[in-house]
Structure 1
Amino acid sequence: MNDQPSSAPGARRPRSTRPVSTRSVFGAPCWVSLTSRDLAATQDFYGAVLGWRWRRDSLGDHFRTALVGDVPVAGVAAVAAMWQMTVAWTPYFAVPSADDAASRTRERGGTVAVGPISLPPGRAALLADRDGATFGVWEGALIGNWEAWRQAAPAFIRLHTRDAFDSAIFYGEILDWATDVPGCCEVHYEGGEVVLRSRGDIVARIESGALEAAPDPTIRPHWQVHFAVEDVTDCARAAEKHGGSVLRESADEAILRDPDGAQFTVTSHRVR
């Protein structure tokens, strides 16, 4: 694997926005990125399904930034084949120090896959938890306006894992959740899931089945990105029309797979 994470959150920032530091929003999701094999096909697919526009990224020709209106919402890196990486969506969490987060991950049995490396105006690392679920951390100025990103980008992210409480402890120790540090994320148990809140809003969920159930060894732990959309059915039909597939569908939510095989979920704005 190359020592370059996929389209990191601070790689390019519009001049008109005031930078927000990860020291003020640390522990919360702050970006999502996708590795792909075919950049043109990826842009066509997500443009059709989610209505995204695109701009070139300062990291090079293999990278693009997705826009909703004028708000940057996600990064795409067409490096999966070149770097022998898995095609997947990856969430990034804001941290005051990428180096500290990487060290804590190693100390607690996780893996440091990439970095930390410097990507002005910050530092990034690609990590995996003890069960193999991949996530990233970002230190430094966030791209654009963080509150605007939260409104225009994912509704939330969800970790599917074997033991939600064990995972919550792992991530809490890495990302300083539920600590006495001002601005940290709050952790609650709500509706059968561990729920992460930032400034009152739900930004992540961790689920592993019923509270009394034993950990499920058949689950392949992974973070699933949920994008809020106006019409789930329209997104599902657009995915099928443009080379993707629908894995599961209801009126309010659909799990989709893009032409490269990356899974993501579209969720109705009504159930954010």
Structure 2
Amino acid sequence: MNDDRTSPAGRRGPLSTHSVFGAPCWVSLTSRDLKVTEEFYSAVLGWQWRPVRLGDPFRIALAGGRPVAGIAAVAAMWQMAVAWTPYFAVRSANETVSRAQERGGTAAVGPISLPPGRGALLADRDGATFGIWEGELFTDWENWRTAQPAFIRLHTRDAFDAAIFYGEVFGWADPEGDCEVQYEGGEVVLRNGGHIVARIVSGALGSAPDPAIRPHWQVHFAVDDVEACARAAELHGGGVLATHGSEAVLRDVDGALFTVTARPVPR
């Protein structure tokens, strides 16, 4: 957990998931080798690192001094898949898990207490994995959203069915929340506070770089030079699976997939 939580007004203090509930609030990677993972992402995305209270296998990735992601080198130890996972802010981990299970989802881990919060690892009814987090945020949400993660995209079989599932689980239609769901350009788009934070698109098997890939959440990181990131990934043991104009789908040294997206040029 990061200790530099700062409010949008500049006052120091914990920021709760209640302030952005229903929106993605963090991303985390499970890997096999911490040193190899650090070297790869330092070369490709320019990240720096710092330890966290959870112990040696865990690190916080920093971009420009700001926390952007968590790394857990526990894939082999805990027999978990190597993958990037988005976490959504919730008011109650217990209630969210119950809602997901009632709608055909499954709970793989938790809810468990990880002070100063509680988390769980879930899968939707098509098998796409995602996490939930209740408690203090890892960093100021607005800073995290703009530091490097651009958004997350769910590749699934039926975007409308998935939108109904996540909408009911996370309360996207809650009048007290800031989330807004719309259909734009063939995708379901989730906004929070006016910002696009997630997209849901149909056709996971047909449009994925690997046709065997099942429905999954893909994390997009905003970068200044997509081609340079792709070259660095290949030079440091990863690979390039596909390029689509201003973005590229990359594979890290352990096989985890992620996307780099060109950062919008400031006006």
- The TM-score normalised by the length of structure 1 is 0.90
Among candidates 51, 54, 59, match of residue 56 of structure 1? 51
* Residues 5-64 of structure 1 deviation map (CA, whole Å, 9 limit, x = unaligned): xxxxxx332266432111111000000000000100000000000000000111000000
Question: Which residue pairs with 2:112 in the alignment?
Answer: 117
Partner of 2:56, secondary structure, is strand
- Are the aligned partners of 1:160 and 1:219 in contact in 2 as well (CA < 8 Å)? no
Identity of aligned residues (%): 71
- Number of residue-to-residue matches in the alignment: 254
1:188 aligns with 2:178: no
Task: Report the Cα distance in structure 2 between the residues aligned to 1:174 and 1:134, rounded to whole angstroms.
Answer: 14
TM-aligned CA distance change 1:218 to 1:48, over 3 Å:
closer
Residue identity in the other structure for 1:99: N
Question: Which residue pairs with 1:240 in the alignment?
Answer: 234
Task: Report the Cα distance in structure 2 between the residues aligned to 1:206 and 1:29, rounded to whole angstroms.
Answer: 13
Partner of 1:60, secondary structure, is coil
1:198 aligns with 2:192: yes
Among candidates 108, 111, 120, match of residue 103 of structure 2? 108
- Offset of residue 82 of structure 1: 0.6
Question: Which residue pairs with 2:3 in the alignment?
Answer: 13
- Are the aligned partners of 1:18 and 1:145 in contact in 2 as well (CA < 8 Å)? no
- Residues 208-247 of structure 1: pairs in structure 2 closer than 5 A: 208-209=202-203, 220-247=214-241
TM-aligned CA distance change 1:190 to 1:26, over 3 Å:
same
Question: Which residue pairs with 1:25 in the alignment?
Answer: 20
Question: Which residue pairs with 1:149 in the alignment?
Answer: 144
- Are the aligned partners of 1:12 and 1:58 in contact in 2 as well (CA < 8 Å)? no
Task: Report the Cα distance in structure 2 between the residues aligned to 1:12 and 1:118, rounded to whole angstroms.
Answer: 16
- The TM-score normalised by the length of structure 2 is 0.92
* Residues 181-232 of structure 1 deviation map (CA, whole Å, 9 limit, x = unaligned): x2331000001000000000100000004xxxxxxx9761000000000000
- Residues 157-172 of structure 1: pairs in structure 2 closer than 5 A: 157-172=152-167
Unpaired runs of 5+ residues, structure 2, are 7-11, 204-210
Residue identity in the other structure for 1:60: G
Among candidates 233, 255, 259, match of residue 261 of structure 1? 255
Instruction: Decide which moves more: 240-249 or 12-21.
Output: 12-21
1:178 aligns with 2:173: yes
Instruction: Decide which moves more: 69-78 or 15-24.
Output: 15-24
Task: Report the Cα distance in structure 2 between the residues aligned to 1:158 and 1:92, rounded to whole angstroms.
Answer: 13
- Are the aligned partners of 2:45 and 2:223 in contact in 1 as well (CA < 8 Å)? yes
Task: Report the Cα distance in structure 2 between the residues aligned to 1:176 and 1:33, rounded to whole angstroms.
Answer: 23
